[in-house]
Amino acid sequence: MARPLINVPAKVKRGRAFEIKTLISHVMETGYRYTTVGARIPRDIVTLFSCSYNGEEIFRADLSPAISANPFITFFTVATENGTLEFKWTGDNGFFETATATITVE
Amino acid sequence: MSRSTPSPCAVGRRAAAATITALLLLAVAGSARATDIPLDQRRSGYADLGRDSKAMQDDDTVNPATLWVLDGEALWNQKAGAANRACADCHGDATASMKGVATRYPAFSPARNGPVNLEQRINLCRTEHQQATPLPFESRDLLALTAYVGRQSRGMVIAEASDERLKPFIDAGRKLFTQRLGQIDLSCAQCHDDNWGKRLAGVLLPQGHPNGYPLYRLEWQGVGSLQRRLRNCLIGMRAEPYAFGSSEFVALELFLMQRARGMTIETPAVRP
């Protein structure tokens, strides 16, 4: 079950910076490990994370095999207007997950 | 080649001899005490966490074990088995009905004529009431359900066993805890009662309390049960680990919970 967990304050003051915390369930298999019988475990990671605010991309991260399982990504942005934050995770083997959060700007 | 240079083989032997000496010293030092930790000196593994790991455990939106708890919540409400019943159909809202349950487990099961831990209790419910197949130990679903049930007791204290029928099993657990095992010939008590707070090869020896399970272990990159953790220790002692769900593991679990009675449940905790 790949379930994202988003934490965004429900209300933010206009012009203020606020923190966005995201957590997603993912094995982040590096591709460098072998099974006990010597078969290589294929890479299975999230490769790209992006966040858009009312359709405009405000944050993007490329993920690498060195990143731990269940990647936790946190960043700040400035509140400008009421709207929707959309989060996207893209990864190996066609992995794709989205989540949204709404914020009210006072 | 110079004669004074020791061969790599000799160096290896010397290192091995040094390791054995260190372990013998630990064993000798350990035999001196072997008493229980005074109740007021007990400390949760949380106290020895770094700042970042503490922050991870303290905030549910940062603690990756929350992902398991949320899965557990979904499973709680999902119908399963031939009876087509969900946990919620009998137990209702887990935040009310499961509050404090984890403080009393392992508990005595008349059906098994012995103690069962929370995972086994969930599986008993599955087989008896849901007529579903039991979930395998350490499977994501069983850990998720256990973490969800355990989460409802967070902040509550571990209960002292009042059931007289549990007594022989607590004693059996204590015996296992103090029994020397494996090629290294160590007992649990030698590290976790007699030498806690010291270091074993650079690693801090914790008191080994079970108050946060199932927990997210950074080394595992996932959530695991107390029995998985006990397995780690047994492998470190070079003893053959007991099977998941075995009477030995449940007795040890029961003894550890009684050893930690009165301590606060942190489920799902974060540990290195």
* A23-50 per-position pLDDT tens digit: 999 999 999 999 999 999 999 999 999 9
> Residue B1 above 50 pLDDT?
no
Average pLDDT over chain B, rounded to whole? 90
**Are B244 and B172 contained in the same domain?**
yes
What tens digit of pLDDT does each residue of B85-113 get?
999 999 999 999 999 999 999 999 998 99
Phi and psi for A99 in degrees, rounded to 5?
Answer: -155, 155
- Structural domain boundaries, residue A81: 5-54+69-103
Interface test with A, best of B62, B67, B221 (most A CBs within 10 A): B67
Q: State residue B232's pLDDT score.
A: 95
Give the mean pLDDT of A10-23. 93
- B49 and B171 share one domain: yes
| CA–CA separation, B8 and B29 (whole Å) | 31
The Cα–Cα gap between B207 and B191 comes to 8
Number of domains in chain B: 2
CA distance, residue A25 to nearest chain B CA (Å): 7
Asked if the structure places residue B21 within a domain, the reply is no
**Which of B88, B121, B151 delimits the end of a domain?**
B151
Residue A63 lies in a domain: no
Angle between helices B167-178 and B247-259 (to 10 degrees): 90
Based on the domain organization, do B170 and B89 belong to the same domain? no
Residue A20 within any structural domain of the chain: yes
Residue A98 falls inside a structural domain: yes
Chain A residues in contact with B218 (beta carbon < 8 A): 68
Q: Does the distance separating the beta carbons of B61 and A7 come in below 8 Å?
A: yes
CA B58 to CA B107: how far, in whole Å?
A: 28
- Which chain A residues contact residue B66 at CB under 8 A? 5, 23
Residue B18 has a pLDDT of 52
When CB atoms are compared, the residue of B70, B221, B222 closest to A3 is B70
Helix (H) or strand (E) holding A29: none
Q: Do B174 and B226 fall within a single domain? A: yes
Closest CA to B223 of B108, B129, B146, B118: B146
| Stretch B150-154: mean pLDDT | 97
**Mean pLDDT value of segment B137-164:** 96
Express each pLDDT in B16-50 by its tens digit: 555 555 554 454 444 445 588 999 999 999 999 99
Q: Do A23 and B64 touch (CB under 8 A)?
A: yes
pLDDT tens digits, B188-231: 999 999 999 999 888 899 999 999 999 999 999 999 999 999 99
Q: Do B67 and A69 touch (CB under 8 A)?
A: no
Confidence of residue A3 (pLDDT cuts 50, 70, 90): confident
| Residues spanned by the domain of B224 | 42-56+160-271
Given B106, B124, B151, which residue is the final one in a domain?
B151
Same domain membership, residue B146 and residue B168: no
Where is the domain boundary, B95, B123, B151?
B151
* Residue B54 identity: K
The pLDDT score that the predictor gives to residue B15 is: 53
Q: Is the model more confident about B179 or about A3?
A: B179
Q: Say if residue B198 is in the same domain as residue B108.
A: no
CATH number at residue B75: 1.10.760.10
CATH number, domain containing residue A10:
2.60.40.10
Task: Examine residue B108 and state whether it is found in any structural domain, yes or no.
Answer: yes
Q: State the smallest CA–CA distance between residue B215 and chain A in angstroms.
A: 14
> Looking at the structure, do residues B195 and B129 belong to the same domain, yes or no?
no
The torsion of the CA quartet B168, B170, B172, B178, rounded to 10 degrees, works out to: -150
B141 interfaces chain A, CB cutoff of 8 Å: no
Phi, psi for residue B46 in degrees, rounded to 5: -60, -40
Burial of B227: CB neighbours in 10 Å, binned 0-12, 13-18, 19+: buried
Please tell me whether residues B165 and B261 are part of one structural domain: yes
Name the H helices within chain B.
8-31, 51-58, 65-76, 87-91, 94-97, 118-128, 140-151, 167-178, 188-192, 226-236, 247-259
Same domain for B198 and B81 = no
Do B184 and B262 lie in one domain? The reply is yes
- The structural domain count of chain A equals 1
* Chain A contact probe: residue of B57, B60, B62, B141 with most A CBs at under 10 A: B62
